[in-house]
Amino acid sequence: MNRRHSQAVGRVLKPIIGVAITAVMLSPLLWMISASLQTRTQLYEIPAHILPPTPTLANFEAVISTQIGSLGTSVVISVATAILSLIISVPAAYALAQRQFRWTGTIVLLLLITQMIPNVMTATPFYLMFSRLGLVNSYPALVLADSTYAVPFAILVLRAFFVEVPAELREAALIDGAGELGALLRVVLPVVRTGVIAVGMFCFLFAWADFVYALTLSTDGSVVPFTLSIYSFIGAQQTNWNELMAAAVLGIIPGAVLLIGAQRYIAAGLIGGAVKG
């Protein structure tokens, strides 16, 4: 009786506590969304409004015209980074998974070490290198720099996916007369589609989130990724918090879309990379 009673209480309490934990964890984002729907005067009224008293989209109307350019820039850079990273990583991961080369272990170790390199440390060489090539303030510079976040990650995770593919599939394709490339494209890739999509999305998000390279490789305002645009918004003399919060809300969109539309891919990418190895 007592046990059943406590179970019933648990069934009611657990979701409530769960919602509370989630709300606390998301509070900065919720607070940001709330602020983005308030006017400047409402924002400074004391006590502060938890919920917007008269929700307005005026802030979004104000920022969309100024931010649309940098949002577009970031989308171009992020898509290009994801494509470039996949082109490099898919074949490499496939080769490393199919054949146990003598130096496979070394390569994996080197890839892991590259993930430890502080990007502040590579920003200087990239800046010096690209300024000598005349590529500072260009899309290729940012795509190349951003892909250094993505490529090691992509190879490691994709390799874990390829290793799981039954060897018979590839062998059957080879016996049927397909070359290695045919076997990869027509037989193996469709099997690991989930993993490839997940990895591509993460590559996109790495580039989307990049700040260090944007800060160092974009100096004259001609190519301004979204994170840099938000940063200069914050640095302005009189920070317009209501508009800044509206602009920042736009930055949540890709992550939120992925979370809603691609839940299983995210879990697949994470767990595939981190746990299976």
Partner 1 sequence: MLSGKTKADLGVGAEASLTPRPSAAPRPTRPRAGRGLGALRRHSILFFLLPVVLYLPFFAYPIGYNFLVSLRDYTLSSLITGEAPFVGLRNLSSVWHDPIFLTALRNTLLFTLLSITCQYVIGLAIAVFFSRPFFLSRTLRSVIILPWLVPGVVTTAAWKWMFNESNGLVNRLLMDVGLDPIGWFSTSSGAFAAVTIVNIWTGIAFTVVMLHSGLQGIPADQYEAASLDGAGAWGRFWHVTMPGLRPVTGIVIILCLIGTLKQFDIVWVLTRGGPGNATQLLSTWSYQLSFGEQAFGRGAAVGDFLFALSLLAAAVYAIWNRRTTR
Q: Is 139 in the site for partner 1 (CB under 8 A)?
A: no
Q: How far is the CA of 150 from the CAs of 86, 175, 224, in angstroms? A: 9, 34, 20
The least distance separating partner 1 from the CB of residue 205, rounded to whole angstroms, comes to: 5
Q: Are 222 and 214 in contact (CB under 8 A)?
A: no
Interface segment toward partner 1; rule CB under 8 A; list 56-64, 65-73, 188-196, 259-267: 259-267
**Alpha-helical regions (H) of the chain:** 2-36, 40-44, 58-98, 104-114, 119-133, 139-164, 167-175, 180-182, 189-191, 193-209, 212-217, 226-235, 241-261, 263-271
- C-alpha 174/C-alpha 9 separation (Å) is 60
Applying CB under 8 A, which of residues 71, 80, 142, 144 lies at the interface with partner 1? 144
**Quick one: tokens of 258?**
């992925």
61 or 171: whose CB is closer to partner 1? 171
Site for partner 1 in 16-35 (CB under 8 A): 17-19, 21-22, 25-29, 31-32, 35
Q: Does 265 bind partner 1 (CB under 8 A)?
A: no
Q: Which of residues 65-94 bind partner 1 (CB under 8 A)?
A: 87-89, 91-92, 94
| Binding test (CB under 8 A) with partner 1, winner from 1, 51, 167, 236 | 167
Which residue type does 274 have? A
The residue among 73 and 98 lying less far from partner 1, judged by its C-beta, is: 98
Interaction of residue 15 with partner 1, rule CB under 8 A: yes
CB of 14 to partner 1, least distance (A): 4
Nearer to partner 1, 1 or 121 (CB): 121
Name which position in 39, 56, 119, 138 contacts partner 1 (CB under 8 A).
119
How far is the C-alpha of 142 from the C-alpha of 210, rounded, in Å?
A: 9
CB of 95 to partner 1, least distance (A): 4
Stretch of 52-60, 65-73, 186-194, 211-219 lying at the interface with partner 1 (CB under 8 A):
211-219
Q: Tokens 């009786």 label which residue?
A: 1
Task: For tokens 């070490």, name the residue.
Answer: 113
State the nearest-atom distance from the C-beta of 183 to partner 1, in Å: 10
**Considering Cα of 229, then 235, then 238, then 242, what sign does the dihedral take?**
positive
Question: Which residues within the stretch 169-188 sit at the binding site for partner 1 (CB under 8 A)?
Answer: 170-171, 174-175, 179-180, 184
CB 149 within 8 A of CB 210: yes
